[in-house]
Every structure is written in structure tokens, then in C-alpha cells.
Amino acid sequence: MNLTYKVMRPNLIVLFAGVALALPTFAAVDFDREIRPILSENCFTCHGPDSSKRMANLRLDIPDGGGLAKGIITPGKSKESRILQRVAAPASGNRMPPASTGKTLTPKQVETLSKWIDEGAKWQSHWAFTAPVRHDPPAIASGWAKTPVDNFILARLEKEKLKPSPEADRATLLRRVTYDLTGLPPTPTEIDTFLADKSTNAYEKRIDALLASPRYGERMAAQWLDLARYADTHGYHIDSHREAWHWRDWVISAFNRNMPYDQFTVEQLAGDLLPNATTEQKLASGFNRNHMINFEGGAIPEEYQVEYVVDRLEATSMTWLGLSVGCARCHDHKYDPIPQRDFYRFFAFFNNVAEKGLDGRVGNAEPYLQLPTPVQKARQDELKAAIKAHEAALPEADVSAKQDKWEQSQVALMKSIARNGLVGHYEFDGTLADSSGGYQYGRTVLGDLTFSNGAVDRGADFDGEAHAVLGHAAIFDRDKPFSAAFWLKVNAKQKVPVFQQTEGGKGISVWLDDFELAGIQQRVPRLYLKFASAEGSAIELRTADRLPWPANMNHFVLSYDGSGKAAGLRVIVNGTAVRTEMTRDTLTASTTTGAPLEFVAFKGKVDDLRLYNRELSAVEITHLNSQESLRAILNIPAAKRAKDQKDWIRDYYLVNSAADTDKKAWAELKTLRAEEKALTAAIPTTMVMSELTDKPRESFILARGDYRNQTDKVTAGTPTVLPPMAKDLPANRLGLAKWFVDPNHPLTSRVAVNRFWQNYFGTGLVKTTENFGSQGEPPVNQELLDWLATEFVRTGWDVKGMQKLLVTSAAYRQASRVTPELLEKDPENRLAARGPRFRLPAEMIRDGELYLSGLLKEQQGGAPVSPYQPAGVWEEIAFGDGFSSQAYVQGKGDELRRRSLYTFWKRTAPPPEMTTFDAPDREKCAARRTLTNTPLQALVLLNDTTYVEAARWLATRMVLDGGKTSATRLDLGFRLATARHPSAKEIAILKETLEAQLLDYKRHEDKAAALLKNGDTALDPRVAQAKISNQELAAWTTVASMILNLDETITKQ
């Protein structure tokens, strides 16, 4: 026995050694992937980076946070670690997290935490805050890989004991990649061409063609607009119009030109700060002017100025850093090592824009950039040259000398006008006294007048009841010249004599009548004048045109030459003689009356009535019309006049008193300047970034994020958790932008390639695209993510190259069929063991159905359009008629059929057909869209006018282009929508539906007619030519709608 034992013992040792070698090896717990998420979710709120909320002076996000010293964590000894005792304590005990948080660790999490402590409790820096490490693609035995991406994918699948799926059939693959790269489906011809191409690089050739298509830029831009919170309105309560589409078009162009991503980044963050920045580079900086802007009454400018800067900071950090930093506005970040000071140092980069807190009431808010068309630019240049030539014809020194002499003569002239022939002057400055020297006084009857600011000083307000009876003697007679000058404003539509001196039908009266509405609270009348004798002879006339009737006061002059003829009576309004129409010209007897002059019971205001016993000359009338402005300016020494005063008197002189040659040159110069001003106003603008240079704005830490509570002053700087900016970079947005694209930056390239992956596979390698921080999900394949990030940089930030790399991979090309094994082990397809399958984004659904029906109007760029949307959506939240973009005005023609990228986007009421399919409202930066399934989505596809029209046009294609039989026609429609031929069973179902619908529409012709009238787009002209009946087309339309509503139609698979 002993011998046997001794002989067998070595064998037993070998045997057990073999058993040990065969036992599975358990990987060490990964702190970053397994422990940090547990601590972040359950502990960091009270024991994390936020010093203001930290409890027990304990931090668990760093190794030297006090946990080791206090025995909270004892490396290698989980049973002695108090953290394990607390997290595993009963609910009724002293358990952590406290019951009040509603959180508790699962048994699995407790086990993982325990194992990590037993293994030595080693902390790691958060993976996202260290530069990506480039791993060589893993060696694999299989020939499955087509790009290095596949080496990483297959290595992970083998680790999980999974196998990749077979390649998708070629038609499905072409549909998938065509949607992914252009946002539109392939045509049957493109499918057939691809299927017929048996060359080894057939797929790659197709990829190159898709990347070269202008549609590629439109597809890529759609996602970028979510990040940039692009919209065509300002947001907030009023949410009025802005012009932002030039920036949108720049994005499309940048993607189509394959602008390197580092340049794409720098120009959007700081294009305006580049040396000798071009118009295009300045335009690009509009990324950070896409935020909402407020101008509501009662809003506080300083408050919103802070809000705009915070928005820029948050959008920039989410877009390029993949971090949500808003938490640090009020206090240190609870989960990531971003203290409040870092937030406001980052804030300072964006806090020096030359903007106002409240702006944008009438369009774009400053600063903005003018973007003239080539025609506008050419005319601008012509006008500038012409203006320069005309200015040379009016030398400043020469004009100033002449004007000085003229000014000296005006005081005497004005005194002459004021007294020469003046027989009555009622200033209405609080009394009805005559200040001409006649010592006469007026009175009121039937009420009292009030006095308020008028045209000259104060004026008399008439309420429709009181009369002003002036005590002046009669001066109006057929053979005596006279003039009456006064300021008048009429507040309401009324038919009464305003000014009169009559008795027994004899005398003079002035009426305002024949009112016509001309805008809100504005009436436009004609003036009627009657100058009659007791015998019935008279002069009667009226103004030929309706008077220019602004809301303020108007200056009237009635001037008569004493000829007894209508031709001798002139009417001058606001310094300009108006055309009159004579209705009677028979005055032969005296018109003198002993009745007093009066202003009767009208509703309005009168000021500065002057009565002369002579005609007034044109120059005198001009002076009276402008006397207060002229007198006031002449009393100011030339050196002390404000610019607007200098401009006014220069214009007055050159228009009224200069030599004819100077008048002509000045008139032409004014015309040119007016055209230039009108042209400038018509030139479209776009909002851009622009720095304050004279006095840079200071930045402070704001206690609790409140704009009123400034504490420590800070200078611009990047988050300390990330590598610092190079010392040679300027501490402004340009330096910040270059810091972002430093090849060793830990986040910029990772965040970008992760979004690209999300585009094609539905979910990023980091699922939380918007959050690479502690609260985000760790990458499912970090080695692949880091390889893609470093490859992106290595290839010169080549965006199209990265898209090609991803869509040519074997992982992307897989069939999307789900097996029970894959559903159990990888239900969300995070490991990419099968091809992507998910519902298309909102834009692709609409654009795709318009395209396959033949309705899509492909026109790149331009102002936004207004396609169909349900009535009343905007009006429900409208603020009032005084603001733009309050009532929805549907477009016409091609505007109804443009790509969704060009649809007008109102933040408070975004396009319903977009938001129903999960498009964001664009009030804030959005890095990924949620994916929902609701009944409303089916209702939109069935009933929205866009989709009804698409179904009608698809039906027309099926009938006219699909052959002679219903089967071939159905095959065409099905293939247009899904890229495959329908099965016999599917054809049978569709035929049965077609026949039932045709029978129903034959019984109810009115229903057929109603369906075909839905929408503004006319029927395809071929319908009438082919004599297709309403009933037949309606039946096919219903079937087409059924095809367009298939899950397969709106799904990428």
C-alpha cells in the first residue's frame, strides 16, 4: 500500500495540477467599470466632489478622501471595512445609503464591492479623463474581419462566447447604408445596379458614391442641429423669428466638403477670432449664438446675459466633452471632479461677447453678420462708389462755410415771419390767449379743454364735447389774402368741421371726412374746405388724395391769394403742397362774418394756430413747419450740437436754401444713401460671436448660480480634471478651441466617434452619449473606442473616412435578425453581434416617404419652409400680433415637399410630425434622441397631409409605372418602400385590401373624391392622361398608405 501510494502520489499531483490549470480564472474587479458606478450612484451625493454637501468629511471618489484613514475601507480586508458593514446593514439599522434616499445596493453590488476590497481596493482615474490608449487590433483566427473595427468586435464576442451574425442580403444592406449616409432610401434602379455588380469592391464603390452625394451633408447636419440647438425662433415666451439658416447651410457644406473635424471645431467655437477671419469662418461661429434669446417686458438684462453664457458653456461641453457640467453652476459637481470655480473659469471663455441681455425683438440680435447675395454685393459696391463721388462734389469745408452764412441770416428771417402780417397767434400752452399783440382771449363752451404735450410745446386736447371759441375778428374775405397755419391731430373717425368761422352759411369751414382705416388705430382722411358768401356763391375743394396721416401731429397751412378763385387757395400739409379737386368755383361776394373763429367738438389735438393777413411763401411755410427744430438748433453753438442736430440742420439747409447745384447734388446723394440703407436692411444676416475689445467683461463665481451674487473674480481656464491648455495658447475662445483639438485631449475624439457609432448602430459604445462622466455608462468596448478615437486623429480628423471605416466593417454589414441566444445575452445589441435594427429618425421617415413617392423636392439650402401642420398649433401659444412667428402661414408648392431639415423650427411649438417621432424641441443641446412607440405615430403616418399626399403619389407610381397587373404594381410599391420584393402571402394580403377598398369607393364616390382632394399638391398630370378614375386611385392610395405604414418601411434593418 505504501509503495503504491508512493508511486501514485506524483500522478495525483500531476492530475490535480491539471485540474487547477483547467479551472476558470476570474478577472480582477475593474474599479472604473464596476466600482465607480456603484459609488457614483449611491455614495457620491454625500461623499463625492461637492464640498458643500459632503458629509462626515469623507470622500469616496478619490483614494485619499479619508476612507482609508478612518477604516471605512481596509484594503484586503472586506470584513473589517466599515463600508461593507453599512451597505449590508438591515433597512431598520444604520444602513447606507440612508432610507431617505430611496437607494440601496443589490446583493450583487455588495459582493462586487467586497471582492474589490479583498483585491486591494485600488482606485483608478476615471477612464474618460485620461488620454485614449491606442491598442493594436486583437489578432483573430477568423477571416470574418473586413476592417480593424471587426477585430475588436470579434475578440469581445469570443470572450462572451458569441458568434457574429451572417452578412445581410445585399438589398437590405444597400437600403441600410443609403439611409445612414444620405437620409433617403435607394431606388429600385440603384438596387438592381448594385445587385448586378459582382466586383469585389462593389459595396465600397457605392459607399464612395453616397459620401460624395450632396445628400450626405444634409443627413449629417440633421444630428448636428440637435447638438447646436438650432431653431428659427428665439424661444422663451414670445418666441419670435430669427434668421439662422445661413449657419445651417454652412454646416451642410462643411460636411459635404469633408472639412476636418478639428477645423470644424475651431471655426464653430472661434471662427471670428482666427487671423484675417473670412466671412465663412465668422459665420461658422454662429454655433454658440443658436441659444434662446429673450426680450420680454420686465425681464432683467443682466440675468439673461448670464443665461446665454451658461447655455454656451453647457452646449459646448456636451458637444465636445460629452459632459453635463450644469450641476457645477451652483455648487461643486456632485459626481465628477468639476468644482464650481472650474465652471466659472470655463464660463469666462464665453462671457465676452458683444451682446445685450435683452435683444432680438425685430429679428436677429447683435452681434450679427451681413451676408449679401452676389447681386446685392455688386450693388453695394456701386452705391459706395457713387456716394463717394457725390460727397466729393459737396466738399465739407465749402458747404460748412456757406451754411454758416445762411445760419446767421435765419434769426432775422424767423423774426420777420413771426411778426410780418401776423394778426392772431394762439399757442394753446394752457390758455386760449392770443399772443400776437391783439390782446384777444378765447373761451370754451360745452366743456373744458385739457392741455398736454403738442407739436411745439403744449397743445389743446379736444374730447368731442368742448368747443374753443376764439375772440379774433374776421380776416377771411374773397378779395383779401390770408393764411392760417396750425398743428392738428385727429384721434377718431368723425365727420365734423374742425376749424370754422361761419354765420348763416357765410364764412369759412374746414372738414376732415371720408376716413379710411390704415393700420392699427390710424385713420386716413381727406380734407374738405368751403369758402362761401351769404348769396350762395362759394369756393369748395377737397384734397385729391388721402392725406399722409401718421400717428403724430400734422402741420396744416391754408394760404389764399385774394383772387376770388379756387386756384388761389392752396393746402399745404407737413410742408408739402397737396393736390386738390375743385367742386365749386363761383365765389362772387364777400365772405366776411362777425362770428368768432372756433375749433369745434372733435376728438383730437390742436397746437400753435397762426393767422396772417397775407399769403405765405413756400420758404416761410417750410420754416413754420420746422420752426421749433430750426430755432432750437440755431440757438445752440455749432460746436456743441449733437450729431443728429448737425445732420438735421445740414439737411434743412441743403434742401431749402442752398444753391441749385448743391441742392441737386444733395438730393442725389440722399437718394443714393436711402437706397444703400434700404439695400442694407434687405440683406440677410446671421448671428455670430464677436468679442468685446474696448472693455472686456469680467467674470465672477456666482453664489448658487445667481447673477446677483458675485463672489470671487475668475479668469478663463479649462477644467482642472482635464489636461491644461498649452502655455502658448491665448486665454480666449480660440485658445479653448485649439485645446479641444489637441491630439492628446482625452475627450474630443472619443465623443465624436462615439456619436458616429451611435448613428449607425443605434447606441454609442458609450450609451450615455451626453455624459462621459461618473454618472454615464462606461464604454462597452473601451479598446475599440480608444482605437477609433486615435485613428480619427491619426487620419487628420477625416470625417468621411471615419464614416466609411464604420459602414464597411463586417460588424455593420451583419443581418439584424435576433436569435434567442442573442436576445438573452445581448438584448440591446451593445456587442454588435448582429446588424443594427431600429426605427428611422423623424426626418428620414418623412423625407424617405416623400422621396419614394416621387414628391420630394431636392433643393439644397435656403430659408426655412413651412409645410403642412395641424391648424392652431402656433396660435395656441401665440403672444400677439405685434410679434413675428405667432401665426403659422403654410407654404405653397415646392415648400411643402422640401427635406425636413429645412422645415421652420419654432422652439415653443416645434413641427408636430417631427416631435411625434422624438425630435427634440431644440431649446437645449441634445446629444441623442429618445425612442418611443406611441399611437400618435401611426395616426401621423395615416392622416397627416404630407403622408396622405405621399400615399397618393406612390399609388400613381404603382399604377402607371408598375406594369399591367395588380401584382406587379404592388411589387413596385412594396419594393420602393422596403427595397425587397414582397412574398406571395404579402401580395395576397395587399390584393385583398385593394379589392375591398375599390368596392367600398365605388359605393361611396364622395369618399374617394374627398381623399384625393386632401392637401394642396395637385395630382400627377399622368392620372388624367391615363383616365384613372377617382375610385381606382383612391383604392390604390389606401393600399399605398398601408405600405408606407409598415413597420419595415419606417425601420432601418
**What would the pLDDT profile of 656-703 be if each residue is shown by its tens digit?**
889 999 999 999 999 999 999 999 999 999 999 999 988 999 999 999
pTM: 0.78
Residue count (the chain) = 1053
Q: Give me the mean pLDDT over the 238-267 stretch.
A: 98
Query: How many alpha carbons lie under 13 Å from residue 803 in its C-beta half-sphere?
Result: 23
pLDDT at 605 over 80: yes
Q: In terms of Cα–Cα distance, which of 356, 348, 360, 355 is closest to 316?
A: 348
Predicted local confidence at residue 463, as pLDDT: 87
Confidence grade of residue 412 (pLDDT, cut at 50, 70, 90): low
Extended strands (E) in 561-602: 569-573, 576-577, 580-585, 597-599
Does the pLDDT at position 323 exceed 60? yes
Could you give the percent of the chain with pLDDT greater than 90? 64
- The predicted model gives 550-568 an average pLDDT of 86
Q: Are 328 and 340 in contact (CB under 8 A)?
A: yes
Average pLDDT, the chain: 90
C-alpha cell at 933: 412607440
The per-residue pLDDT for 628 is 60
Q: Is the pLDDT of residue 99 over 90?
A: no
User: Mean of the pLDDT values across residues 11-28?
Assistant: 43
Where residue 2 falls among pLDDT bands split at 50, 70, 90? very low
Spell out the residues 6+ positions from residue 370 whose beta carbon is closer than 8 angstroms to its own: 680, 683, 684, 685
**Beta bridge partner(s), residue 685:** 370
Residue 911 near residue 868, CB atoms below 8 Å: no
Quickly state the pLDDT bin for 6 (edges 50, 70, 90). Answer: very low
Residue 24, pLDDT score:
43
761: pLDDT strictly greater than 60 = yes
848 has a pLDDT exceeding 50:
yes
Q: Report the pLDDT value the prediction gives residue 790, as an integer from 0 to 100.
A: 99
pLDDT (0 to 100) of residue 963:
96
- The values of phi and psi at residue 8, to 5°, are -80, -20
Give buried/exposed letters for 1002-1040 (b at 16+ CB in 10 A, else e). eeeeeebeebbeebebebbeebeeeebebbbbbbbbbbb
Asked whether the predicted pLDDT for residue 522 surpasses 70, the reply is no
Using one digit for the tens of pLDDT, what is the confidence trace for 329-354?
Answer: 999 888 888 999 999 999 999 999 99
Catalogue the long-range contacts made by 745-749 (C-beta closer than 8 Å, 24 or more residues apart): 745/131, 746/128, 746/129, 746/130, 746/131, 746/132, 746/722, 747/128, 747/129, 747/320, 747/321, 747/322, 747/323, 747/722, 747/772, 748/265, 748/320, 748/321, 749/132, 749/789, 749/790, 749/792, 749/793, 749/797
Measured CA to CA in angstroms, residue 172 lies from 150, 201, 837, 953, 987 at distances of 20, 17, 11, 24, 19
Q: What are phi and psi of 444, to 5 degrees?
A: -110, 150
pLDDT at 162 over 50: yes
Pick the CATH number of 425-613 from 2.60.40.1730, 2.40.50.140, 2.60.120.200, 2.60.40.1480: 2.60.120.200
Does the structure show a pLDDT above 50 at 23?
Answer: no
pLDDT at 21: 37
Is 900 in contact with 847 (CB distance < 8 Å)?
Answer: yes
CB atoms closer than 10 angstroms to residue 635 = 8
Looking at the chain, the whole-number percentage of residues with pLDDT higher than 70 is: 93
pLDDT score of 22? 40
Section 733-753 average pLDDT? 99
Among the residues of 657-722, which ranges form H helices?
660-682
Please tell me the distance from the alpha carbon of residue 425 to that of residue 566, in angstroms, as a whole number: 26
pLDDT for the residue numbered 93: 72
Domain segments of the chain as ranges: 31-122, 325-354+692-746, 364-420+638-681, 425-613, 943-1052
Q: Which residues contact 604 (CB under 8 A, 6 or more apart)?
A: 461, 462, 488, 489, 490, 491, 492, 498
Task: Show Cβ contacts of residue 725 under 8 Å, excluding neighbours closer than 6 positions.
Answer: 717, 718, 731, 735, 736, 739
**Which grid coordinates are listed for 670?**
440722399
* pLDDT of 947 strictly over 90: yes
- Which among 312, 322, 302 is positioned nearest to 346, based on CA atoms? 312
**pLDDT tier for residue 521 given thresholds of 50, 70 and 90:** very low
Give the pairing type, strands 497-503 and 506-517: antiparallel
pLDDT at position 94 over 90: no
For residues 45 and 237, give the distance between their C-alpha atoms in angstroms, rounded to a whole number: 34
Question: Which cell numbers in the block locate residue 251?
Answer: 454646416
What are the tens digits of pLDDT across the range 201-231? Answer: 999 999 999 999 999 999 999 999 999 999 9
Cα angle at 244 between 241 and 249, to 5 degrees?
A: 145
Query: Does 140 score more than 60 pLDDT?
Result: yes
pLDDT-derived band at 69, boundaries 50, 70, 90? low
Which of 539, 607, 633, 527 shows the shortest CA–CA distance to 571?
527
